Amino acid sequence: MIKQAIIPLAGLGTRLLPLTSVFAKELLPINGKPSLEYIIKECIEAGITEIIFIISKRKMMIKKYFYNDKFYKELIKKKKDQRIIQEYKKILKYRKIIKFVYQNKPKGTGDAVLKTKKYIKDKYFLMLLPDDLIIKKNCSKSMIKTHKKYKASVMASMSVNKKTVSRWGIYKLNKRLNKNDYLINNVIEKPNIKDAPSNKAVIGRYILPKKIFSKLKNLKPSKGGEIHITDAIQSLIDNNEKFIAHNFSGKYLDCGSMNGYINSSMEIAKL
Ligand code: G1P
């Protein structure tokens, strides 16, 4: 059973400047709700019972969002506004399942994952990258189904324009298991066009084995001076660990760039 999810939230959000100079990108509203709430909802609907947020001192605003009781209580005392009461109840419900850990230096996604080591209980856990929203179909839920069937690690996959491969982790696929799932031979972080083994990209949903911590511990920074989760995954694949690329059927929205963020609001408003 996959019961725990982790969400790296310590990123600086430079692609969304100037908005992120004072504001956490994951709290920026999309159609009236922080983008993070869509991710939390996806987790809960997929059966997750504990979510670990990896934040930093710069991103304390995220913790405050869930612990601003005094503000709500005073407002509710003054006027019994049903909408405020409902929002406060929702925040309390989310808070019950959220834990916070800290990554004060932005050393990459691999380093963020390593910070959760002490808290992971089961053999596998889910990771969601908050820049990647997937709407219309619960991607985590369908990945958990694949995981149950094949008892393997799973990552979300999407075909991208060949010209953009250097923006993504890129797969080299092996055997097709069914309509949507492929075994992975290799995964390379942000390759040049000429080195890219395909145009199948990693999208920010991962079911990872607890074993990955032993790889992350020994990993040196690579591309861009960061510790990449992709490198730890490749190292596990080299040790014959089974990883599956799952072609998800929802719609992908990139909330991490300005154009993507603006487009996400329009797409979600249409739902
Ligand atoms: C991260 C991963 C990359 C993946 C991407 C999906 O990159 O390192 O492999 O393709 O998320 O959004 P980042 O967006 O942090 O540069």
Average pLDDT over residues 105-132: 97
Mutate which of 202, 228, 243, 257 for ligand 1 pocket (most atoms within 8 A of beta carbon): 202
Whether omega for the bond prior to residue 18 falls within 30 degrees of 0, making it cis, is yes
CA-wise closest residue to 110 among 187, 47, 57: 187
CA-wise closest residue to 9 among 51, 67, 71, 69: 51
pLDDT > 90? residue 226:
yes
Question: Strand, coil or helix: what is 50?
Answer: strand
Q: What is the pLDDT of residue 80?
A: 86
Average pLDDT over residues 16-25: 96
Q: Please name the residue whose Cα sits nearest to atom 9 of ligand 1.
A: 169
For residues 254 and 164, is the Cβ–Cβ distance under 8 A?
no
Q: What is the pLDDT of residue 223?
A: 87
For residue 24, count other CB atoms closer than 10 A to its CB: 26
The overall average pLDDT reported for the chain is 96
* pLDDT tens digits, one per residue of 27-70: 999 999 999 999 999 999 999 999 999 999 999 999 999 999 99
| Ligand 1 site, residue 203, Cβ cutoff 6 A | yes
Question: Strand, coil or helix: what is 65?
Answer: helix
Structure tokens at 241: 């660990």
In ligand 1, which atom is closest to the CA atom of 11?
A: 15
* pLDDT tens digits, one per residue of 255-270: 999 999 999 999 999 9
Sequence-distant (≥ 6) Cβ neighbours of residue 6 within 8 angstroms: 51, 52, 53, 54, 112, 113, 116, 120, 125, 126, 127, 128
Q: What is the pLDDT of residue 271?
A: 87
Q: What is the pLDDT of residue 79?
A: 85
Percent pLDDT > 90 in the chain is 97
CA-wise closest residue to 11 among 143, 149, 111, 146: 111
Percent pLDDT > 70 in the chain is 100
The Cα 39–Cα 251 span in angstroms is: 14
Q: Beta 50-55 vs 4-8: how paired, if at all? A: parallel
| Ligand 1 site, residue 143, Cβ cutoff 6 A | no
Structural domains of the chain, ranges and CATH numbers in brackets? 4-269 (3.90.550.10)
Q: What is the pLDDT of residue 212?
A: 98
Q: What is the pLDDT of residue 224?
A: 87
Average pLDDT over residues 222-244: 95
